[in-house]
DNA sequence: CGTCATATTGATCGCGATCAAACTTTGTGG
DNA sequence: CCACAAAGTTTGATCGCGATCAATATGACG
């Protein structure tokens, strides 16, 4: 169940078998479930646990007074929802399930123990937080500077890359369980315009999307169109000098 | 010089005199200077040091292939530029001085020592990182859901609040050393449209802005207009249970 | 006092919003 | 397994915010 997390962290540095065991050890916690479109934790709640997504997609979103909503992050299997949130008194946003989601609710103490005993894992977790922050920045660039087509294209390439890095996508194919309304809430356009944007991507033979399954037909062209630069995901085993030897 | 940082962290929990001394102790490092509009560190560089802004404003920005640029964060006095970046192999963005800037370049080791010896400071630093992340999210909401007027209004209220929290603003007045082009790069609009937006804010008697000095004429109306909700800055001494007693 | 960055104004264009309706898929209870 | 509701997708017509292009101030500064 924690396979995705191990795969993800291994993008940073090779883990020892003890490291991996320590991560698998987190599964002693009772695994929780949330149905699609229900909140895991809501704005205003006191954050106590750290969440680790095991399967399914979740998202982080903020809701405005005028009823509009912005999705500010996706959580895929292997992603933590904020490693240190428990320091805050109340959530400034909501985390909701996109699909049915399985996740672990870990206590600060449990995570503290893991990071104390396994410094390499601690480093890898810090790296994954840095990557999350980098993704947030790239999303800011999308919303500030890219057109609707570019935003959608960029998001698709990013999600494909992230899913591939945890073994959940290959050959330009991936599950894509997001509704068009949700995609609109990520990319900051209206659902109507998002629909037209998807149609244009299909018309240009860049993607295929049906029954929640997405195929990238021409990854290179899509990357170029979206001005996608891989670097911000920091997937190049940047902590390799910390590799375990066993 | 580290007064701003101490003021900022005190928004989270009351520091002991030892805590404060430990922070002041960082100043043994030679203080560096950058001229306005020059980079402190550029995309592609290997991040080695952690930077702490002492005076002046800096910003984080990403530059696209098509020549456009998005400013994704402002660093005000007391702000760190990424506590843990040194883990990454190369910067995915650039940090530039907005005004002339004084800053400290701290080594990972030096910061590690501080956080080991002063757990309350460590917590406070973690809190400040969480706040930075929260600000990033709020900026995503701005770019995705707010109009140009709302974006500019929101940014002004945020900067005023942040400056006030480190003792650099009061009575709705603040230094505002940002050019209109830079403001445009933050808010994701063109300089021309930004200019018209500022004029509209002035016309509605919401702000006054001349010779790099900004006055908020009607904070309540500006807040309402921008749908500004204070909570995301987490300034309410959320770590008060960790307060020092001396 | 000329040069260069910054700010302002005017005219026109177009991407994406809005409004409205139909169509399709999914799911649920009888 | 069908009926019907609810959610999600698609299409069409029109509107408007902010982009673009172009020119003109207004400083700041050597």
Q: What is the pLDDT of residues B72-114, one digit of tens each?
A: 999 999 999 988 899 999 999 999 999 999 999 999 999 999 9
Q: Is A80 helix (H, G, I), strand (E, B) or coil?
A: strand
Query: C-alpha distances in angstroms, A188 versus A33, A145, A148, A194?
Result: 29, 12, 8, 9
Contacts of A188 in chain B (CB under 8 A): 143-145
**Distance C5 C1' – B202 CA (angstroms):** 23
pLDDT higher than 90, residue B169: yes
Do the Cβ atoms of B144 and A66 come within 8 Å? no
Question: Helix and strand tally (H, E) in chain B?
Answer: 8, 12
In this prediction, residue B97 carries a pLDDT of 96
Closest CA in chain A for residue B232 = A92
For the stretch A187-233, pLDDT in tens is 999 999 999 999 999 999 999 998 899 999 999 999 999 999 999 99
Mean pLDDT of B138-166: 97
How close is the nearest chain B Cα to the Cα of A122, in Å?
11
B229 phi/psi in degrees, rounded to 5: -115, 115
Q: How many CB pairs under 8 A join A and B?
A: 120
Determine the pLDDT at residue B236: 85
Indicate if CB(A42) is under 7 A from strand D: no
**Average pLDDT across chain A, whole number:** 94
- The protein footprint on chain D, as nucleotides within 7 A of a CB, is 7-13, 17-22, 28
Q: What is the pLDDT of residue B81?
A: 92
Whether residue B43 contacts residue B88, with contact meaning beta carbons closer than 8 Å, is answered with no
- The Å distance, CA of B46 to C1' of C3, is 38
B85, closest residue in chain A (CA to CA):
A130
Distance in Å from D4's C1' to A75's CA comes to 35
> What is the set of domains in chain A, with CATH numbers?
3-119 (2.60.120.10), 137-233 (1.10.10.10)
Q: Please tell me which residue lies nearest to nucleotide C26, judged from CA to C1'.
A: A211
What's the rounded mean pLDDT across residues B108-132? 94
pLDDT exceeds cutoff 80 at A246: no
Residue that has been written with the tokens 């085993």 in this structure? A237
Neighbours of B154 (CB within 10 A): 23
Taking the CA of residue B195 and the C1' sugar atom of nucleotide C9, their distance in angstroms comes to 10
Q: What is the pLDDT of residue B162?
A: 97
Question: Residue B65 and residue A227: Cβ atoms within 8 Å?
Answer: yes
Nucleotide lying nearest to B202, CA to C1' measure: C8
The pair of structure tokens assigned to A102 is 């399985």
pLDDT at residue A16 tops 80: yes
- Which of A67, A68, A141, A153 should be substituted to probe chain B, the one whose Cβ sees the most B Cβ atoms within 10 Å? A141
| Strand runs labelled E in chain A | 31-34, 39-41, 50-55, 58-63, 69-75, 80-81, 94-97, 101-106, 169-170, 173-175, 207-210, 213-216
Contact A88 B129 (CB under 8 A): no
Residue in A closest to B227 by C-alpha: A65
Using an 8 Å Cβ cutoff, are B106 and B22 in contact?
no
Which pLDDT band, with edges at 50, 70 and 90, does A58 fall under?
very high
Q: Which nucleotides of C are covered by protein (CB under 7 A)?
A: 5-11, 15-20, 25-26
Q: In DSSP terms, which residues pair with B69 in a beta bridge? A: B63
pLDDT at position A202, please?
97
Four-residue CA torsion sign, A47, A50, A56, A59:
positive
Task: Choose the weakest-confidence range: A24-33, A49-58, A172-181, A221-230.
Answer: A24-33
Closest Cβ–Cβ partner in B66, B92, B134 for A227: B66
pLDDT of residue B147: 97
pLDDT given at position B38: 94
pLDDT tens by residue, A116-169: 999 999 999 999 999 999 999 999 999 999 999 999 999 999 999 999 999 999
* Residue in B68, B89, B227 nearest the CB of A64: B227
């Amino acid at each position: 169940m924690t396979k995705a997390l191990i795969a993800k962290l291994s993008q940073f540095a090779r883990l020892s078998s003890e490291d991996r065991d320590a991560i698998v050890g987190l599964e002693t916690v009772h695994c929780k479930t949330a149905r699609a479109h229900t909140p895991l934790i809501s704005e205003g709640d006191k954050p106590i646990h750290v969440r680790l997504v095991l399967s399914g997609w979740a998202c982080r979103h903020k809701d405005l007074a005028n009823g509009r909503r912005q999705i500010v992050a996706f959580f895929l299997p292997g992603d933590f929802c904020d490693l240190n949130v428990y320091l805050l008194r109340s959530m400034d946003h909501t985390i909701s399930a996109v699909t049915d989601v399985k996740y672990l609710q870990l206590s600060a103490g449990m995570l503290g123990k893991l990071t104390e005993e396994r410094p390499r894992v601690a480093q890898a977790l810090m790296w994954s937080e840095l990557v999350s922050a980098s993704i947030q920045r790239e999303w800011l660039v999308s919303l500030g500077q890219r057109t609707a087509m570019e935003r959608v294209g960029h998001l698709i390439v990013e999600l494909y890359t992230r899913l591939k890095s945890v073994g959940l996508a290959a050959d330009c194919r991936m599950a894509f369980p997001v509704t068009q309304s949700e995609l609109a809430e990520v990319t900051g356009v209206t659902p109507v315009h998002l629909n037209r944007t998807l149609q244009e991507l299909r018309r240009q033979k860049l993607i295929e999307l049906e029954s929640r399954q997405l195929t990238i037909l021409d990854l290179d062209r899509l990357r170029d169109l979206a001005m996608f630069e891989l670097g911000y995901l920091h997937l190049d085993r940047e902590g390799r000098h910390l590799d375990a030897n066993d």
